[in-house]
Structure 1
Amino acid sequence: MFGDLSGMMGKLKEAQEKVEETKKRLDTVLIDEASSDNKVKVTLTANRKIKAITIDETLLNDAEELEDYLIITLNKAIEKATAINENELAVAAKSGMPNIPGMNMFK
């Protein structure tokens, strides 16, 4: 009924391995984002780990303004990283998924 069950299990394991490999690779994919006036720059990985923050010293005298810059710039960078992360992991997972009969009935 389900065909080669061990073959499907092997493919599922391959898919899991591809996802793990992709997660490791995404640690090396860097996303750079800057505020519109370049006073704050951030770099993070596609796995959303912050690697660097550069702050223009003119912002160091106003904590509230600095916080606003950081929030806006970090959120933009995280949004980009999340999109890359989700897309890459979906491709990795889908590429290794077995063709299970009846699973594509909602095309």
Structure 2
Amino acid sequence: MALLAQQVISRAGTTPTYSAAAASTTVVTGDRSFLHVKNTNGSSMTVTITTTAQVDGQAAADLVVTVPATTGDKMIGPLSARLFASTADGFSAAITYSSTTSVTVANLVI
């Protein structure tokens, strides 16, 4: 899984750089970390962020977000470490995409 570079949003304004979605990626978690997904494909698609948190010994459900077809545009987050940080490294969240055709993503931090 490739780690998406974080792009810091500044008061002066930020023009995000988007990369083509891969089947699976990771991002650094944090209370100010967001994923911006754009879908220009003719079909809707889903983004799944693996949840690692547990409540009373039960695994919390993964976060699944549907991004509409053609002009779909979703900001997802914040990607809190309490919910999404990998048990292997303690800081990254695993993300999968149901489709990567005509899908671009950016990892933004405020």
Instruction: Bin the TM-score by the shorter chain.
Output: under 0.3
TM-score by length of 2: 0.22
Structure ranking higher in strand proportion: 2
TM-score by length of 1: 0.22
Q: Relative CO higher for 1 or 2, CA cutoff 8 Å, sep ≥ 6?
A: 2
Larger Rg over CA atoms: 1
Structure ranking higher in helix proportion: 1
